[in-house]
Amino acid sequence: DGGITQSPKYLFRKEGQNVTLSCEQNLNHDAMYWYRQDPGQGLRLIYYSQIVNDFQKGDIAEGYSVSREKKESFPLTVTSAQKNPTAFYLCASTRTSGDVQETQYFGPGTRLLVL
Amino acid sequence: GQNIDQPTEMTATEGAIVQINCTYQTSGFNGLFWYQQHAGEAPTFLSYNVLDGLEEKGRFSSFLSRSKGYSYLLLKELQMKDSASYLCAASFTGGGNKLTFGTGTQLKVEL
């Protein structure tokens, strides 16, 4: 089945620790996105990538890093510089068609908790 | 900024009709998406409007007025399973295939 997978479903981080959230898609989508969702708030864009080996900062990139070495994969690292990492993290992907916005499809999410 | 505004919460009765409104800034506007999100789950795509008018898809319809910067999602024959958060998201020209999301409207369907 085609789709987007995220792992793990729950992740616990200790103080000062970097953790990496996985996102994989087999939809042959060019663009991938990472969002953060806090209770009562909408989705906020952390990073996005429209093509392999290229990515851009979103609205809240501080304390996060990404890589896009393969089309299928877009891992997100939450670094120790992110002081309030507890949130629900969602990965999404879409085709790209020039200036036409295609539908973004979401993975099941990873809930990150700080110990 | 490109603010997207929608009500925080709404309550409706099973079997009824509910309309969830969304307003956005018209400058550079491209298109408008609606997603449904159940608690703890991923958002799922409901509709996409780029032209003015009403798009009907089963019990759900979505309306867009580009000149007024206004959209609504209409849910008919409400069912308990429709209790969820409904997210409005807009794309803007030059936005690089990005979406700007509203905070979501939490809909509670009661008996």
Q: Model confidence at A83, in pLDDT bands (50, 70, 90)?
A: confident
As a whole number, mean pLDDT of residues A40-47 equals 91
CA distance B34 to A23: 23
Q: How many CB pairs under 8 A join A and B?
A: 57
Q: Which of B42, B45, B104 sits opposite A103 (nearest CB)?
A: B45
Residue with tokens 């032209």: B51
Residue with tokens 């042959």: A28
As a whole number, mean pLDDT of residues A22-37 equals 96
Q: Which of B42, B89, B102 sits opposite A109 (nearest CB)?
A: B42
State residue A82 phi and psi, 5-degree precision: -85, 105
Is the bond into A8 cis (omega within 30 degrees of 0)? Answer: yes
B41–A108 C-beta distance less than 8 A: yes
What is the predicted pLDDT for the residue at B61?
Answer: 97
What is the predicted pLDDT for the residue at B71?
Answer: 98
pLDDT digits (tens, 9 = 90+) for A50-76: 999 999 999 999 999 999 999 999 999
Average per-residue pLDDT in chain B?
94
Q: Note down pLDDT in tens along chain B; length 111 residues.
A: 578 999 999 999 999 999 999 999 999 999 999 999 999 899 999 999 999 999 999 999 999 999 999 999 999 999 999 999 999 999 988 777 889 999 999 999 999
Give the Å distances, CA to CA, from B102 to A67, B3, B23, B48.
27, 7, 9, 15
pLDDT digits (tens, 9 = 90+) for B18-43: 999 999 999 999 999 999 999 989 99
A101–B97 C-beta distance less than 8 A: yes
Residue with tokens 């969702």: A37
Q: Is the pLDDT of residue A32 over 80?
A: yes
